[in-house]
Structure 1
């Protein structure tokens, strides 16, 4: 290879190096990448020293809002070095007008994204300041407001980024209007459930944690009231996702709001129980209920212990009373003690409990059974 050919090769390599990728110097690209990766490394140090230091300072304060705020802002803060790294890397490149505009839009988009991301994450901690609204709105309604606020922040951020890239949001929304009408016609159930959810929250039918029962549909504990469905966990721990319309259109029994739990029994005694025994049993059961601290008493609730009816095989006492507790486990324990007390009272009175039975009376017996002719034996031929 002669000297002139070698010089041409060197010139070609230099030209490729200076204008290799979209007319950008490869050396500058490599240097820009080094700067970007340096800020990726700085991101880890920033998180370890700055963010953790701020966390330590917020833990020393009495309020918990600042702890929640720094916890929510941790990821947006860790993204800041990346934004700076991209900005410095693009500034180091000698870009033409078109690429320069693209880099400018990219940097603006990253900054806009990080700002709205931080606002989105801050909605949760800011919701703690809604404490004064809890006297006006229910907890579920506040949760819905937080979700709606986050959705609003998300769409505003998306619209801002689209505007940066020259995509007009207003005409896009107008164009989607006709499509929205078509979707709405096919999504009537969705809107029906959404409106039903608003009614459920507005009427305060139930709240998360309540024990509810909808005949023929579900019984369990409410976990979450969503936009379309309500999550109810059955007592076998299986979650059931019930459309809000089902809960709005049907009668819902909210056991959590019971003021008392009822006991309604029919106590069957044998027919040979005397009047004195009936009076003694009735009075002792009534005394036990009225003197026990486990039961609510009139006029707060009605309480009855009465001879109620003559059944087919028993004389029935009706016991109608209410316990003070609404806790199911405690209610079962009180019922058990009451059942044992009633058994003791009945046995002490000399009576016993009846059970279903039938008596058959024969007025007379024939002198001799009728003689029925026996069938003749048929021999096979």
Structure 2
């Protein structure tokens, strides 16, 4: 009955005890060491368990008279003590690493998350080892006996370790962070949600999650669109071959004037901006338009690109030129006997191709074109 009363008192006062200790730590740390408040708050759950550990100790030392039962309860109390210590370390490692966020470039959100996960795994392993040692189970010889098995497992888990190491390099090199829009050709395109120990979770634009092994993202080229400073527009505009030299100059100068006169585009020398007659193509005279927009937001970029297309259309029309399209012309040098180019004595129209795109279309005499 005394033991039950002691345990009941410990359970009832544990929250009050935790609040008192946490408030004392707050007042002491604010004046002495300046601990982050979240670190102290993380200690609250383990501190609540301390009265129960003390109650078990008091019961074992002062209440119980049976020696075997007393030794067993004290053994349990030592296990609970080790459990409480490692529980506190497990809880505090998260906010402790969060304090490092932004202190140096390497301490990014992804690196902190990875460090917290690895640190908590190590703490759990050490805590389990400490508890087993309390009960007389020596972990060292057991681990040594599994050495050969560990080698075999390591050989069979090469991909696992490769992905673990690749994850470290991805975070250390800061290839991308959580929230970045990335593209790995032939692998995935989307927004990074989590860089895990073995895989990286990428959310595609159709909201489907893709779990990509870290080695794929470490060994292949990855484009990080979220780290763009500007966004590129690269076009080839084909003008008709009937365009004169003066019209070509007018079109080129007007497009360049539009780009350099708009604040939506990046101007030299901050970034290049080219509008040049590029080459004589099979069906067109090609004009290259190469420039960058200040915005990297996809929707805004599409709007600016649309306005540029409207402007180029108006510029080409104003210059008296036109856009080219793929076409072929057929020239007939001699017409075989019995073949009429224009059956039924039909006079040729103003269009020499008769709307067919073929000059001098040959049809059988008396036939229907």
TM-score (norm 2): 0.80
1:91 positional shift: 4.4
Aligned CA RMSD, in angstroms, stands at 3.2
1:208 positional shift: 2.4
1:217 positional shift: 0.4
Given candidates 249, 264, 277, the residue that maps to 2:219 is 249
Given candidates 258, 263, 281, the residue that maps to 2:251 is 281
Distance, in Å, in 1 between the alignment partners of 2:322 and 2:230 is: 31
Deviation sequence 1:218-254 (CA, Å, 0-9, x none):
0112222222111222222222111111112212122
Contact preservation (8 Å) 1:232, 1:242: yes
Residue of structure 1 equivalent to 2:316: 346
CA distance 1:328–1:65, change in 2 (3 Å):
farther
Distance, in Å, in 2 between the alignment partners of 1:224 and 1:138 is: 13
Residue of structure 2 equivalent to 1:23: none
CA distance 1:65–1:295, change in 2 (3 Å):
farther
**Partner SS state of residue 295, structure 1:** coil
1:360 positional shift: 4.9
Structure 2: state its 5+ residue gaps. Answer: 344-363
Deviation sequence 1:247-291 (CA, Å, 0-9, x none):
122121222333322111111233333332221111100111122
1:215 positional shift: 0.8
Contact preservation (8 Å) 1:76, 1:118: yes
Greater C-alpha radius of gyration:
1
Deviation sequence 1:336-357 (CA, Å, 0-9, x none):
2211211221222233333344
1:102 positional shift: 1.1
After TM superposition, where is structure 1 displaced by more than 6 Å over at least 4 residues in a row?
Answer: 51-58
**Length, aligned pairs only:** 341
Contact preservation (8 Å) 1:32, 1:92: no
Residue of structure 1 equivalent to 2:86: 116
**Partner SS state of residue 317, structure 1:** strand
Contact preservation (8 Å) 1:32, 1:90: no
Distance, in Å, in 1 between the alignment partners of 2:167 and 2:73 is: 45
Which stretch of structure 1 is more off in the superposition, 35-44 or 178-187? Answer: 35-44
Deviation sequence 1:324-347 (CA, Å, 0-9, x none):
333323322221221121122122
Structure 1: state its 5+ residue gaps. Answer: 1-29, 372-381
Within-5 A mapping of 1:176-191:
176-191=146-161
Deviation sequence 1:168-208 (CA, Å, 0-9, x none):
12212212322211211211111111122222233332232
Distance, in Å, in 2 between the alignment partners of 1:276 and 1:210 is: 47
Q: Does 2:206 correspond to 1:236?
A: yes
Contact preservation (8 Å) 1:140, 1:225: yes
